[in-house]
Structure 1
Amino acid sequence: MKRTALSTAILLATTPLLADTPDSNAEAHTLDVVQVTAARIAQTVDETLSSVTVIDREEIERLQPQQFTDLLEGRAGIETSQNSAFGKSTSVYTRGTSSDHTLLLIDGVRMGSATTGGASWQFLPPEEIERVEIVRGPRTSIYGSDAIGGVVQVFTREGRKGPPKVNAFVGGGSFNTREAGVGVAGGTESTNYSFSLSHFATDGINVQDDVGDDDRDGYDNTSLATKVSHRLDNGVEFFGNVLYSEGTTEFDSGSIFAPDESDFVHAALRAGVRIPVTQRWDTELSAGHSRDESDNFLGGEFFSQFDTRRDMVDWRNDIEVADNVLVITGIDAYEDRVASDTVYDEESRYNLGAYSVVQVDMGRHDLEGSLRYDDNEQFGDKVTGQVAWGFQMTDPLRLRASYGTAFKAPTFNDLYFPGFGNPELAAENSRTFELGARYTSGPYYLDAAVFETGVDDLISNVCIANCDDGDSRTDVLQPQNVDEARIRGLELEGGYAHGQWVSRASLTLLDAEDRETGNELPRRSPITARYDLDRKFQDFSLGGSVIAKSRSYNRVDNVDRLSGYGLVNLRASYQIAPEWQLQATVNNVFDKDYETAGGYNQPGRAAFVKLRYQQR
């Protein structure tokens, strides 16, 4: 029976990835890294017509991250900004676009707050993650609103065929940090399953100087993840997955009498069925639910509640209309709902979308086109599209070019927040050109891309009253579609994995300009770079990362300058026994003082240790 694209995606998504692992050798690396986010089907990174980075479980454990942004910072085209560390508000800028222009997916579930528009990156637990796929460039024509800069998809831990295998860890370190977790995963010929539970807690650091108390602002997160699938004899497969996190994060607001804190819930749930209708037609029907909830307390007293929930359905079809032509088409819909002590003029809205992707294999040439129609209850309809071309110039060298349009829907705060919102807002719109090349030879690879993105109708807060009294505190602001941005950039990413050596490097050069003022867009550094290097010595391994950023500006007026910095992180591990491993890391080795958001402190030198158990 011929395997269609959807069944191939299922198979490859549940196959262990061999990218950049310390134990990999040249022979193992002939198996290419697979991703499924760029076009909703399984493709190797070498085959895709997009700029893609994949971070697998081996790399996650090797890097020993304390928070999810440790995995993203400094990657090609990626920059992060945090209001301090450990569970504090976090922004991710992909290719210089706004913080709410990157779509976060968790196992296919759309995440993000309907009120603020951004995703809660700070609450993602690294221990529950199997792999991360970063797709840079517009993907609205496939996924809908928010994907102007790109898509980051997080896949939770997976089970594979074999007897149940237990994994566990316990660790701790600086700032009275402690963590622990346990999980089990396995599978049979027809059923795969995984279940894990983890807890992370830290006293943290003082978020802001001279604001509120001088105490440390802590964070705790308890997370549960489960994933299960069952395939019938006729090929029909049922699946479901859950990632649920809850906890508390403290912050500084000015109160000196009691802690300021926020209780949060961050969750993604999805279930569905995949059906092989014919040898050339697979269909999938799924339903999902996401939550982004926070109850906020100032001085120990309840202050505000912002709970947003999203229900979604997706019907997708993969059809091989010819041996060299694949069509992916589907319909999806979601409804956002807001529950808050703040009274919004509207508390829900729906979005209905229809999408299609066509891929044509012409030997050394590949063509891909996508088109999507969205009907949004608030601002009406929108059509976006993308075209891409690839050319296999030589066996190791592949060229690509693409052009795509995208949009970002205004948030509930932009539209309906009392005394502030503007229900007449239109969606933000963008267009992106990209040229890229990828060279792969044995254990080496190098990927390069140049791009230009223009964003129109950017939403910005404009003063509409009391603007000339000389006191900005009395200004009356309202969001309006006024700004335009032009973002140009160069991305380089390369890697090497052979024998006992593993390395990966990335460099991004960025020119992100507000066309109305000529100012640089805030918190976008013109230069960012990252280099990871690891070496294994039998049972020992040593490694380190260097992350560097040039200066940027904290505000749109380019007055508040953030200094550039460089960080060095070192790590080591020792395989005590086949099933036991001891890990240690020292972050910010040279105790650099730096900020990624003006006025918010970042940790100095910090050390952590972790003991892992993995049943073989």
Structure 2
Amino acid sequence: MAALLCLAASAALAQASPSSPSSAQSVVVTAARAPQAAADVLADVSVLDRNAIERSGAINLGDLLVRLPGMELARNGGSGSTTSVFVRGSETRHVAVYIDGLRVDGQSTGGAPWELLPLDLVERVEVLRGPAAAIYGSDAIAGVVQLFTRREAGKTSASAALTAGSEGLLRGRAALSGKAGALDGALSVMAEQADGLDARPSRNPDRDGWRRQGVQAGVGLDLAPGQRLDAQWLSGRLRAQYDGTAGVDDVSRHSLQVAGAGWSGRWADGSVTRAQLGETRNTYETQPSYYRTETQQRHWLLQHDLALGANQQLGALLERREDELLNPSTQYSPTLAGQRHQDALALSWRARWGSQQWQAHWRHDRDSEFGKKPTASLAWGWGFAPTWRVGLSAASAFRAPTLFQRFSDYGNASLKSETSRNVEASLRWQAGASEASLVVFRNRVGNLIDWTGSGDCKSRLDDPTWGGCYNNVGRARLQGVTLAGLTRLAGVALSASLDYHDPRNLDTDRLLARRARVTGTLAADTTLAGWELGLDWRASGQRYDIDNKTLAGYGLLGLRAEHALMAGLRIEVRVDNLTDQRYETARTYASSGRTGQVGLRWTL
């Protein structure tokens, strides 16, 4: 950890995505829900483009995100198993996830299906750390992750990749995009499978393999200068073995459908209107122990942004979200079907005066179950020197309980929304290709929802011996410091981050489960004799599991090499967990030891 601190400090004190040395010149959408120059973003944001995704060698989204500052991961076995992603020590359900502007969530226990999201169909990932409910509404207590699929290209392009690796991994991807006159389109397909690892040897001595497939299509039409129609569709499926019941080959099947259409119109310089409608379907099923849950979400959005001169920007948004949940009956419970909706009005203001920047957001949500819920945020930044900027911000957020948490046999109809209040300060520095940051935050979360024992509730079956139910059980404080930076030294691109977190349940005075106080990342990339070489290291300190037993800390070392065999064709080699370290992110669940991948990537 000392090495991480020294490297980050040597780059001074400002944050940037390790994947994008030219991030100051890029555009970020997620921070304000509208295009914004990265240099003007006051929030704590990382951006990963397709090149960074390829270099990471990540098989799924969780493996990619955990390489960023402030991110942690817990998983019940291999890549296809249930995955939790923690942002700044929060609960996994406290992160709002979007694909091309459409919300992806589950109305069972809540949160996105991280293990299902098909990373090979994604062109760009934006990660916003910190509450953003004043922009996005319910769920964004700790942050927002937005995935952008392949879209318009100025000319026809094509790519394909094929990878083989340890644990029986086979992975393929192909993509095509182009433009003809006013019409443009893109199509991507992917498929992968693996024999996997033995997730719980003590329960079922077998390999728990998985298969994942996905397809994505997008089309756009320029109606006139500044007027555009677009539509997108994504489908993903995952079949994974898991060790649930001793001696039984348990299998889960997960599917995701995302479809949307939109129109945007530019009326004058700085006056843009955007309308979008869409639907997402998220289904999870297990066999032979039968369980099934289906979530359907519909989205309507109307947004207008208006520039007031060169220094101010106003925004207004109307949004409606409808949630439906269906859990077919099992031998333990009858069919559960429920629905609700949220209507929202949001206003925003951004301004720059000289070396100072301001950003304010206000949103009013009306939930059909919980009534009115206002949220707000305010951020300020001051470039007090040519290479330095200081920032302060405050924000409120909430997450409404899921339909399952309220109305299932394990539910509690009197549940209240989880709420949060966050303050943070940042110090950033940038000079040429070197950047660094220091971010300090404190987020207090109230009305935490958790599972409680049978003594606290009775089931809807009126059985006093029922195992338990969901309740608002207490408060949490998520506070910490993130130090990150990147620079270039003697032809080597260096990046590092160091996080000290204290995610604590204030009622029990214990750290929240599966989250470490100290985590860190380190990466070095260079070119030698025509090969692109990279090294990355990720470390996590001691944690406690849900049974309060200790999970030991660990450090994982990875190596990669790429080489151009000919124009447009590259060979890629990667080794992860080089030291073959044995570790757990969830107690009694194994993680992969040393693994390798070899692949070919072709681009036209």
Whether the TM-score (by the shorter chain) exceeds 0.5 is yes
Preserved CA contact (<8 Å) 1:20 1:496? no
Preserved CA contact (<8 Å) 2:80 2:116? yes
What pairs with 1:182-197 in structure 2 (closer than 5 Å)? 182-188=174-180, 190-197=182-189
1:429 — aligned with what? 419
Counting aligned pairs with the same residue, the percent is 28
Residue type at the aligned position of 2:256? H
2:460 — aligned with what? none
| In structure 2, distance between residues paired with 1:460 and 1:166 | 47
| In structure 2, distance between residues paired with 1:588 and 1:366 | 43
Of 230, 247, 268, which aligns to 1:239?
A: 230
1:271 aligns with 2:271: no
1:49 aligns with 2:36: no
1:173 aligns with 2:165: yes
Q: SS state of the match for residue 404, structure 2?
A: helix
Residue type at the aligned position of 2:426? G
Task: Decide which moves more: 518-527 or 488-497.
Answer: 488-497
Residue type at the aligned position of 2:167? F
1:390 aligns with 2:365: no
Q: SS state of the match for residue 46, structure 1?
A: helix
Of 546, 552, 574, which aligns to 1:563?
A: 552
| In structure 1, distance between residues paired with 2:147 and 2:398 | 22
Deviation at 1:547, TM superposition (A): 0.4
| In structure 2, distance between residues paired with 1:130 and 1:106 | 11
Deviation at 1:43, TM superposition (A): 2.1
Residues 192-238 of structure 1, C-alpha deviations (whole Å, 9 max, x = no match): 32111110100111111222x31111111111112222212242101
What pairs with 1:2-401 in structure 2 (closer than 5 Å)? 29=22, 32-162=25-155, 164-188=156-180, 190-211=182-203, 213-257=204-248, 259-298=249-288, 303-342=290-329, 343=334, 346-401=337-392
Question: Structure 2 stretches of 5 or more lacking a match?
Answer: 1-15, 458-463
Deviation at 1:498, TM superposition (A): 8.1
| In structure 1, distance between residues paired with 2:302 and 2:603 | 38
1:611 aligns with 2:600: yes
Residue type at the aligned position of 2:508? T
| In structure 2, distance between residues paired with 1:36 and 1:21 | 17
| In structure 2, distance between residues paired with 1:551 and 1:31 | 35
Deviation at 1:46, TM superposition (A): 2.6
| In structure 1, distance between residues paired with 2:569 and 2:46 | 30
Residue type at the aligned position of 2:585? T
Compute the RMSD of aligned alpha carbons.
2.1
Deviation at 1:413, TM superposition (A): 2.1
Residue type at the aligned position of 2:184? N
| In structure 2, distance between residues paired with 1:141 and 1:195 | 34
Task: Decide which moves more: 262-271 or 508-517.
Answer: 262-271
| In structure 1, distance between residues paired with 2:491 and 2:296 | 46
1:11 — aligned with what? none
What pairs with 1:430-579 in structure 2 (closer than 5 Å)? 430-465=420-455, 476-496=467-487, 501-555=492-546, 559-579=548-568
Question: Structure 1's 358 and 410: CA in aligned 2 closer, same or farther, altered over 3 A?
Answer: same
Q: SS state of the match for residue 121, structure 1?
A: coil
Deviation at 1:431, TM superposition (A): 0.2
Preserved CA contact (<8 Å) 1:464 1:475? yes
Task: Decide which moves more: 31-40 or 184-193.
Answer: 184-193
Residues 451-476 of structure 1, C-alpha deviations (whole Å, 9 max, x = no match): 00101111122335399xxxxx9674
Question: Structure 1's 30 and 316: CA in aligned 2 closer, same or farther, altered over 3 A?
Answer: closer
TM-score by length of 1: 0.90
Q: SS state of the match for residue 54, structure 2?
A: helix
Question: Structure 1's 456 and 53: CA in aligned 2 closer, same or farther, altered over 3 A?
Answer: same
TM-score by length of 2: 0.92
Residue type at the aligned position of 2:102? V
Deviation at 1:154, TM superposition (A): 1.0
The count of aligned residue pairs is 579
Preserved CA contact (<8 Å) 2:357 2:381? yes
Residue type at the aligned position of 1:183? A
Residues 421-469 of structure 1, C-alpha deviations (whole Å, 9 max, x = no match): 10111100000000002111111100210000101111122335399xx
Deviation at 1:524, TM superposition (A): 1.1
Deviation at 1:191, TM superposition (A): 3.4
Preserved CA contact (<8 Å) 1:83 1:207? yes
| In structure 2, distance between residues paired with 1:515 and 1:475 | 28
Q: SS state of the match for residue 512, structure 2?
A: coil
